[in-house]
């Protein structure tokens, strides 16, 4: 088991300051929307609420930190000198695609110290630059002075699992770290929440958990702007899971509702919330404004925290959506996506 450092959630101020907001097309509201609503009304799913640990391919080689390379001329920082930054995802070297750390290492060795052209992604934009590797005097290997990773790991919450086929949806928003949208090598593990950093005004809290690496519970297959999707294992025990019908956003009303979340251990609990606003046509997947009213949850977490993204929202016993965002100026308040928009986003990807 390993303690998680990274989280697959995006928590925003109401103005989305300091984070990358989701931008998606509005789900068509004509005949196609009516068909989805009709289908959804007949669908019964297992209600999620359990946290899960995800590992996803990064879609390249992501720079975590810039560093120095000891060499004969003292030390150099080739990546920094060339203009690379932490967070950039290196996609190719001299036109050859990179998907793993070893691919970049091999490309640097092939260079023999000559300049190479790196193709990389930054803020969703693909760019190119040249960098001259330095020869590490201690190892003899050519390096550019970067700490890198080729996978992304984090905690998120499962929203629903379809009874027929065990298809699941989670998170309720995109994974904006450059990972490839089709993720056949992605893994989903059971997760044990061992602590909580409470949210306070101006600072988001977070769940702290452990991957249970011997308990792969599902296969993640792809993700889009409305969530991460895949298939649960046949052997997963659903005996403790409640079931609910899916309801379209047109059935949601201002007033009482509940969320299912796991903030301790591995089993979800229900917590009271209030829906303060319903907006079926929001273009940023913010169909609901919600407020946590459950004193027990507020006492334990301060409200909505990192790791709760994807927590299912139920009203009148029906699944209507998932928690996606928190207001940094008030951690008891946040946004939710409607379940029909979440599912439609996957179909439209």
Catalytic residues: 173, 294, 309
CA dist 75 and 242 (Å) reads 59
CA dist 121 and 140 (Å) reads 29
The owner of tokens 């993720």 is: 183
Tokens of 302: 């301060």
Tokens of 198: 């409470």
For 21-41, letters b (16+ CB in 10 Å) and e give ebebeebeeeeebeebbeebe
Helix (H, G, I), strand (E, B) or coil at 226: coil
CA-nearest of 47, 44, 27 to 338 is 27
Angle between helices 339-348 and 31-41 (to 10 degrees): 120
Helix (H, G, I), strand (E, B) or coil at 81: helix
**336, burial (CB in 10 Å: exposed 0-12, middle 13-18, buried 19+):** buried
The owner of tokens 């000891």 is: 70
CB 334 within 8 A of CB 327: yes
CB 331 within 8 A of CB 344: no
The owner of tokens 């770290």 is: 177
């Amino acid at each position: 088991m390993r303690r998680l450092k990274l989280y697959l959630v995006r928590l925003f101020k109401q103005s989305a300051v300091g984070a990358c907001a989701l931008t998606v097309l509005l789900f068509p509201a004509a005949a196609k929307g009516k068909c989805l609503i009709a289908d959804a009304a007949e669908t019964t799913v297992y209600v999620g609420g359990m946290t899960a640990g995800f590992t996803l391919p990064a879609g390249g080689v992501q720079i975590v930190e810039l560093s120095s390379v000891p060499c004969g001329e003292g030390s150099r920082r080739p990546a920094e000198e060339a203009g690379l930054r932490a967070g950039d995802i290196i996609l190719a070297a001299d036109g050859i695609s990179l998907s793993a750390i070893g691919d970049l290492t091999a490309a640097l060795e092939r260079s023999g110290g000559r300049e190479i052209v790196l193709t990389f992604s930054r803020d969703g934009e693909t760019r190119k630059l040249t960098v001259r590797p330095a020869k590490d005097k201690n190892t003899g290997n050519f390096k550019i002075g970067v700490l890198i990773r080729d996978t992304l790991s984090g905690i998120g919450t499962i929203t629903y699992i379809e009874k027929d086929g065990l298809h699941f949806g989670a998170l309720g928003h995109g994974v904006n770290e450059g990972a490839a949208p089709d993720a056949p090598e992605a893994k989903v593990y059971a997760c044990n929440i061992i602590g909580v950093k409470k949210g306070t005004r101006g600072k988001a809290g977070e769940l702290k958990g452990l991957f249970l690496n011997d308990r792969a519970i599902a296969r993640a297959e792809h993700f889009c702007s409305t969530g991460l999707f895949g298939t649960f294992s046949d052997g997963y025990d659903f005996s403790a899971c409640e079931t609910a019908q899916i309801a379209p956003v047109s059935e949601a009303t201002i007033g009482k509702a509940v969320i299912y979340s796991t903030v301790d251990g591995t089993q979800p609990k229900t917590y009271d919330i209030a829906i303060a606003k319903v907006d079926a046509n929001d273009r940023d997947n913010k169909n609901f404004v919600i407020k946590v009213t459950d004193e027990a949850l507020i006492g334990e977490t301060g409200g909505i925290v990192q790791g709760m993204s994807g927590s299912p929202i139920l009203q009148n016993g029906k699944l209507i959506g998932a928690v996606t965002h928190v207001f940094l100026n008030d951690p008891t308040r946040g946004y939710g996506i409607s379940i029909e928009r979440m599912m439609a986003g996957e179909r439209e990807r």
